[in-house]
Amino acid sequence: MSRPAPRGRFPRGVYGTGAEPDPRFSLANERTFLAWLRTALALLAAGVALEALALPLQPGLRLAASLLLVVLGLVTPVQAWRGWARDERALRRAEPLAPPVLAAPLAAGVCLAGVLVLLGVLWR
């Protein structure tokens, strides 16, 4: 049985719509959000480490890969929050969940960073 959301929950745009879903689904949505945050932290750490450790790579390509990883690490939490809110609203309205928006661009960005590092190794 569904019941309305308690008052004062943040964000109101999410919790103010629909009815309370099964808590297991909300908790799974939260775990997915947290996984995206861990991914963002890993991307930031990789980008910083790549430049801070001054690995013996071609400097321009190393910097490009580092910047790409940091940018991806900054964009990922924003998209994670938007995806969490979108999915939570869909759960509350008993609607189908949308596919992840960031997965393909993130995969392409990580592959591009890998190619830049590979080229940086080959052209040092």
Local mean pLDDT, 10-residue blocks, the chain (124 residues): 62 91 96 97 97 92 97 97 96 94 93 97 90
Write down the pLDDT at residue 45: 98
Write down the pLDDT at residue 3: 53
Residue 114 lies in a domain: yes
Write down the pLDDT at residue 36: 96
The token duo for 43 is 């991307």
Write down the pLDDT at residue 1: 46
Number of structural domains found in the chain: 1
Q: Give the CA dihedral 71, 73, 79, 84, nearest 10 degrees.
A: -170
Residue 6 lies in a domain: no
Residue 21 lies in a domain: yes
Rounded CA-CA distance 17/9 in Å is 11
Write down the pLDDT at residue 10: 86
